[in-house]
């Protein structure tokens, strides 16, 4: 029982992710302590907080909050060279609105709860029941607990949103996927992912801690640990350029990757901007990149442990019109809060199913489902794609933007990386 209760409290933590390759400007503090002194797993020189995967809700002890695979050849090895890149985002943003408010979260982290054949997760644990398919059970098996319906708030963050949801196909959705689009049950209707690219942002490269300068630390993980290089409320578009780590040829297909910590479903896109242009959404919308080939999950940065699969991509109902977006392929497994999701693309173990059913367990028992902030997934997993660099792009310095539009929260994550087209 203790495991079950602990799990419920952990599950209130919120979503974070960042570009892992190429290295983003948002990783600015990755070379400073405590991030430079952090490594996983623990060893003689990395003990307690220096090897603990953590989630800091108060802007303190964030060393192990955004780790990525160390690409060292050692299975499961992580480092914190990405600094706090996974805390750069925009909070309180819904589709078709002109601005974010930095605060609101209508349904993400909401009080709605689902029941499985009338039972909550605690009862399942008491009865020692593991769900056969906790991610996408047969229609009707998992239903909203009517006693929690009053907590639902299905609305935009502005009075007259200029769009309704364009993502209605259940296969493109990631949470509460069995609710009919636009119905009174479809409580993620105004979430950023439901009309990709149409939610506003606080900053196109994220805001440190997800809020406007001066708003301070907020709920839903809207916080940042101040360092000598970056502070809560800083704008990602104002971060200094980093040395470019890659040179890409115009017309070629190139690899990009991101790592999820807390997992709010939804989907993502990549865009480019000339490095000397204002790094705004308006600029990035002019150069959206197409995904090509299969989607890839890769563990430990090692192509020998990767899985290629048919991803879920769409260019319909997106902004800019025709731009290609890809669904986040990792189901969160947070069924009590999000209801049915979708099945993982890899085979998951019984232990992983037990975690998703509510039992808890060791971090790492799931390979391609769940979440990495105190969850069953290890952040040695990267979501890798090939994107196509336009054939006629002029050589020069560019900034690559990764934009993640969440479905389970009113949040948009972003990372920006320096690249060279040559």
Ligand X SMILES: *[C@@H]1O[C@H](CO)[C@@H](O)[C@H](O)[C@H]1NC(C)=O
Minimum CB distance to ligand X, residue 119 (Å): 15
Please identify, using beta-carbon distances, which residue of 203 and 338 lies nearer to ligand X: 203
Q: Which residues, 53 to 82, sit near ligand X by CB under 6 A?
A: 59, 68-71, 79, 81
Among 226, 280, 305, 315, binds ligand X (CB under 6 A): 226
Residue 85 binds ligand X (CB under 6 A): no
Minimum CB distance to ligand X, residue 211 (Å): 11
Minimum CB distance to ligand X, residue 91 (Å): 16
Interface stretch with ligand X, choices 226-234, 237-245, 314-322, 410-418 (CB under 6 A): 226-234
Minimum CB distance to ligand X, residue 92 (Å): 18
Please identify, using beta-carbon distances, which residue of 2 and 139 lies nearer to ligand X: 2
Interface stretch with ligand X, choices 131-139, 159-167, 194-202, 279-287 (CB under 6 A): 159-167
Minimum CB distance to ligand X, residue 72 (Å): 6
Please identify, using beta-carbon distances, which residue of 61 and 315 lies nearer to ligand X: 61
Q: Which residues, 230 to 289, sit near ligand X by CB under 6 A?
A: 231-233
Among 9, 48, 118, 128, binds ligand X (CB under 6 A): 128
Phi and psi torsions of 22, nearest 5°: -70, 165
Please identify, using beta-carbon distances, which residue of 12 and 183 lies nearer to ligand X: 183
Residues in contact with ligand X, counted by CB under 6 A, come to a total of 17
Please identify, using beta-carbon distances, which residue of 205 and 324 lies nearer to ligand X: 205
Please identify, using beta-carbon distances, which residue of 9 and 228 lies nearer to ligand X: 228
Smallest CA-to-CA distance from 208 within 244, 182, 233 is with 233
Minimum CB distance to ligand X, residue 56 (Å): 11
Residues forming the site for ligand X (CB under 6 A): 20, 59, 68-71, 79, 81, 128, 130, 162-164, 226, 231-233
């Amino acid at each position: 029982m203790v495991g079950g209760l602990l799990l419920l409290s952990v599950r209130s933590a919120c979503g974070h992710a960042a570009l892992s390759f190429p290295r983003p400007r948002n990783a600015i503090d990755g070379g400073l302590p405590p991030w430079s002194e952090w490594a996983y797993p623990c060893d003689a020189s990395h003990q307690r907080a220096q090897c603990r995967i953590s989630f800091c809700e108060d802007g303190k002890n964030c060393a192990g909050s955004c780790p990525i695979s160390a690409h060292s050849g050692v299975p499961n090895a992580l480092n914190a060279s990405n600094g706090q890149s996974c805390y750069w985002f925009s909070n309180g943003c819904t589709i078709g609105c002109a601005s974010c408010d930095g605060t609101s979260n209508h349904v993400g982290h909401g009080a709605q709860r689902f029941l499985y054949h009338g039972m909550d997760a605690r009862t399942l644990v008491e009865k020692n029941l593991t769900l056969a398919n906790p991610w996408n059970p047969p229609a009707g098996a998992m239903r909203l607990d009517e006693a929690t319906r009053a907590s639902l708030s299905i609305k935009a963050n502005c009075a007259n949103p200029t769009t309704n949801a364009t993502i209605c196909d259940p296969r493109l959705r990631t949470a509460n996927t069995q609710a009919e689009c636009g119905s009174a049950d479809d409580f993620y209707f105004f979430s950023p992912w439901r009309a990709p690219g149409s939610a506003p942002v606080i900053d196109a490269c994220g805001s440190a801690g997800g809020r406007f300068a001066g708003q301070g630390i907020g709920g839903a993980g809207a916080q940042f640990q101040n360092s000598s290089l970056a502070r809560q409320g800083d704008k990602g578009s104002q971060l200094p350029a980093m040395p470019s780590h890659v040179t890409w040829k115009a017309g070629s297909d190139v690899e990009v990757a991101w790592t999820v910590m807390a997992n709010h479903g939804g989907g993502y896109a990549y865009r480019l901007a000339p490095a000397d242009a204002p790094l705004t959404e308006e600029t990035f919308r002019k150069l959206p990149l197409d995904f090509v080939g299969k989607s890839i999950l890769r563990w430990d940065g090692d192509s020998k442990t990767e899985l290629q699969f048919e991803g879920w991509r769409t260019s319909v109902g997106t902004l800019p019109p025709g731009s290609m977006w890809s669904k986040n392929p990792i189901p969160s497994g947070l069924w009590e809060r999000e209801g049915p999701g979708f099945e993982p693309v890899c085979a998951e173990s019984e232990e992983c199913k037990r975690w998703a059913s509510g039992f808890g367990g060791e971090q790492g028992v799931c390979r391609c489902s769940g979440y990495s902030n105190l969850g069953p997934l290890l952040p040695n997993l990267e979501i890798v794609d090939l994107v196509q660099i336009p054939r006629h792009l002029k050589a020069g310095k560019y900034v690559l933007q990764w934009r993640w539009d969440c479905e389970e929260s009113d949040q948009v994550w972003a990372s920006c990386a320096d690249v060279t087209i040559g």
